[in-house]
Chains A and B, each alone.
Chain A
Amino acid sequence: MLKILKYSFYDLSRSRWSYVYFFFYLLLGVVLLFLNNDLSNAVITLMNVIIILVPLIGTIFGVMYFYNSREFTELLLAQPVRRSSIFLGQYLGVAISLSASLILGLGLPFIIYGLFQSGAIWDFASLLISGVFLTFIFTAIAFNIALSNENKIKGFGLAILVWLFLAVVYDGLFLLSLVYFQDYPLDKFSLVASMLNPIDLSRILILLKLDISALLGYTGAVFKQFFGTGLGAFTSVFVLILWVVFPVWRIKRIASKKDF
């Protein structure tokens, strides 16, 4: 598996798209910092970018990579290599190279700007951690979709649909149900509902750093316990890990059964 991971990683690190991705983040970081002149504002803007763009790029890139390397995958399948290590290797190769572009692309301008002297370092760290999680989650989802759909167009369409649903539509439905059922106690429901969507989850992880004072304004005991103690961050990270583990496990399962 490591060999395939290494191969995918090197392959990707020579690919144009990784560089495009890397330079995009580099540019974004530089522009944000030097136009804003303020770290905490830049972190807020970055958060919006991360929770929207990272999943999108992870999904598209994952699907694209899978379909493009199909011939190579078939070649590998003919070799005495375990199926799970082929697909997991490819998956990790994509996810790690995307995460590396993200971390380097955003990290470099911030470090040059003087992140380590600033109090915003933990905000920034939680931003990067959620970014990395989202990359892993959405690449895994992309691989799932690509594995289940032979048809490229269908696969792409589905991937974008999933992204659109989780990034925008889900929150809309969530808000609607909150407003509709506002006469009922909703604090548990709203916490569970945000756990079910990795984008919401990582948003909350960042909010715990940035907007904790607003979150604490709500009076419910469940919220208070969740946001006021370490429980919130702990649970969020734990569920995010589950969000990585489950799709990866499904990749493995489909891959071992699939007829190529």
Chain B
Amino acid sequence: MGRFYFLFLFLGLTTSFQAQEIEVCKSCEVKTIQVAVDRAENGDVIRIKSGVYKEHDITIIDKSLTIIGEGLPVIDAEMEGTAISIRAEKFSIEGLKIINVGRSHTNDFAGILISNSKNFEVKNNRLDQVFFGILLENSSDGIISGNKITSNAKNQATSGNGVHLWKAEKITVKNNEIIGLRDGIYLEFVNNSEILNNLCKDNLRYGLHFMFSDQDLYRGNIFENNGAGVAVMYSKFIDMQDNQFRKNWGSASYGLLLKEINDSELKNNIFEDNTIAISADNTNRINYIENDFKNNGYAIRIRGAVYDNIFERNNFLYNSFDVAYTGRLNENKFINNYWSGYSGYDLDKDGIGDVPFRPVTLFSYLVNKTPEAIVLLRSMFIDMLDFSEKVSPIFTPADLIDEQPQMKRIQW
């Protein structure tokens, strides 16, 4: 009986405090979203029915609202300014279509601008022809999921990023599709955040871009045909798992560009058809474990100042060059990898080749010095050169070897 009482009490409480619902449509009492926002109280729900709303700079300040679009209502910012900007705690935006966000060289106009906010959710929105898609500043504890952001970025100066996070904590960006912007997802000073299962495609610069961001995880994303798949710069403790980097082609294109990054791990990623799958510059204590490198121009290119990087149990499959290396070995280690170019034998049948493998060829050294020599790739003369270099290394680092090359492709 006491339990029943409690239930009644609870029901009574919720009904008395029940949030008001405001409907917005062309024939409703409230015709514009801004008016609805102005009328709404903390905790209210705003339902926007389908239709086209030509509004920009809709501003929500310090109101915890739930904004739901029904039948994908269109907010057309008419190329002027930001569509929605919010500074609040505990709110959600769902099911809107935002188009034609203004472009500017001085202001970062966005589809949805969130600043100084907490506990929010932006999901299942569709953003098209935007400058910045979802722009987040100085906020924490948010989820950005299931959005589809598209634009037609032509050059870097006049385009923005799909999801742009600046100074944020504990943000989850998942299941989004970001196509044709400058950076797909951009993180600057973002810590303890997760980037999961997104698709970043045809972006001008990077699919995903980390700057000064620590303790982050990205997993299960697909990066395809971007200027470069992912750039991780000046960051620490980044966990990279199960991602796919595909078809990042071009003279300055990378699957993954690592610059000034420390103490991170790459696991179970697939790199396919990139000009350079991984370019590492100034990276320390990185573990590359169980990744697949397939049909890339260069699988791994190591520039200077790289220390204590360990490459273990990776598959290097039919890359034009497996490893290109500048500088000294510096305690970097290649061990237990599978190399499709390995031609040794395994007499004791333990699955490990009896002859060590040298992943750096003389030709990759030559191409480094004289880039035009690339037209001689796979010529018989070059094969003969490489062979003689393998027998007695002079130009390539003699100690850069995989002591235990695997005989069979590693299944992970």
CB-contacts of A206-237 with B (<8 A): 207, 210-220, 223-224
Contact B374–A218 (Cβ < 8 Å)? yes
Contacts of B320 in A (CB 8 A): 211, 213-214
* Smallest CB gap from B247: residue in A: A213
Contact A190–B297 (Cβ < 8 Å)? no
Contacts of B252 in A (CB 8 A): 219
* Smallest CB gap from A187: residue in B: B372
- What separation, in Å, do the CA atoms of A64 and B251 have in the docked complex? 47
Contact A216–B249 (Cβ < 8 Å)? yes
- How distant is A51 from chain B, measured CB to nearest CB, in Å? 7
- How distant is B397 from chain A, measured CB to nearest CB, in Å? 20
Count A/B pairs, Cβ under 8 Å.
107
* Smallest CB gap from A181: residue in B: B370
- Check A211/B376 contact, CB under 8 A, given A172-B381, A179-B366, A217-B251: no
- How distant is A46 from chain B, measured CB to nearest CB, in Å? 12
The answer to whether A175 has its CB under 8 Å from any CB of chain B is yes
* Smallest CB gap from A204: residue in B: B375
The answer to whether B275 has its CB under 8 Å from any CB of chain A is yes
The answer to whether A47 has its CB under 8 Å from any CB of chain B is yes
- How distant is B286 from chain A, measured CB to nearest CB, in Å? 22
The answer to whether B250 has its CB under 8 Å from any CB of chain A is yes
User: What 1/0 flags go to A28-67 for Cβ under 8 Å of B?
Assistant: 0000000000001100100110011000000000000000
* Smallest CB gap from A222: residue in B: B372
Partner of A224, one of B251, B371, B380: B251
The answer to whether B11 has its CB under 8 Å from any CB of chain A is no
- How distant is A25 from chain B, measured CB to nearest CB, in Å? 19
CB-contacts of B276-318 with A (<8 A): 276, 295-298, 318
**How many residues belonging to A are interface residues under a CB distance threshold of 8 Å?**
40
The answer to whether A182 has its CB under 8 Å from any CB of chain B is yes
Contact B372–A48 (Cβ < 8 Å)? no
Contact B379–A200 (Cβ < 8 Å)? yes
- What separation, in Å, do the CA atoms of A44 and B377 have in the docked complex? 12
- Check A41/B318 contact, CB under 8 A, given A207-B378, A213-B275, A215-B297: yes
The answer to whether A1 has its CB under 8 Å from any CB of chain B is no
Contacts of A213 in B (CB 8 A): 249, 273-275, 295-297, 320
Contacts of A224 in B (CB 8 A): 251
Partner of A190, one of B296, B318, B372, B379: B372
- Check A179/B370 contact, CB under 8 A, given A51-B380, A211-B320: yes
* Smallest CB gap from B248: residue in A: A213
CB-contacts of B369-397 with A (<8 A): 369-384
Identify the interface centre among B253, B297, B375, B384: most chain A CB within 10 Å of its CB.
Answer: B375
- Check A175/B275 contact, CB under 8 A, given A216-B297, A219-B251: no
Contacts of A186 in B (CB 8 A): 370, 372
Contact A175–B378 (Cβ < 8 Å)? no
The answer to whether B340 has its CB under 8 Å from any CB of chain A is yes
User: What 1/0 flags go to A232-256 for Cβ under 8 Å of B?
Assistant: 0000000000000000000000000
Contact A220–B380 (Cβ < 8 Å)? no
Contact A175–B372 (Cβ < 8 Å)? no
Partner of A40, one of B276, B318, B321, B370: B318
- How distant is B106 from chain A, measured CB to nearest CB, in Å? 32
Partner of A214, one of B374, B381, B382: B374
CB-contacts of B183-204 with A (<8 A): none
The answer to whether A178 has its CB under 8 Å from any CB of chain B is yes
Contact A220–B384 (Cβ < 8 Å)? no
- Check A40/B295 contact, CB under 8 A, given A204-B375, A218-B251, A220-B371: yes
Contacts of A47 in B (CB 8 A): 378
The answer to whether A191 has its CB under 8 Å from any CB of chain B is yes
Contact A194–B318 (Cβ < 8 Å)? no
* Smallest CB gap from A172: residue in B: B381
Contacts of A223 in B (CB 8 A): 372, 374
Contact B369–A179 (Cβ < 8 Å)? yes
Q: A190-B372, A211-B320, A216-B297 are in contact. List 10 more A-B contacts (CB 8 A).
A: A47-B378, A168-B380, A168-B384, A171-B382, A172-B381, A175-B376, A214-B297, A214-B320, A217-B276, A220-B371
25 contacts between A and B (CB under 8 A): A48-B378, A171-B376, A171-B379, A175-B366, A175-B373, A175-B376, A175-B382, A182-B369, A186-B370, A187-B372, A190-B373, A200-B379, A211-B320, A211-B377, A213-B297, A214-B298, A214-B320, A214-B377, A216-B250, A216-B275, A217-B251, A217-B298, A219-B371, A223-B372, A223-B374
Q: What 9 A-B pairs are tightest by C-beta distance, nearest first?
A: A214-B297, A214-B320, A171-B381, A213-B297, A219-B251, A186-B372, A190-B372, A182-B370, A211-B320
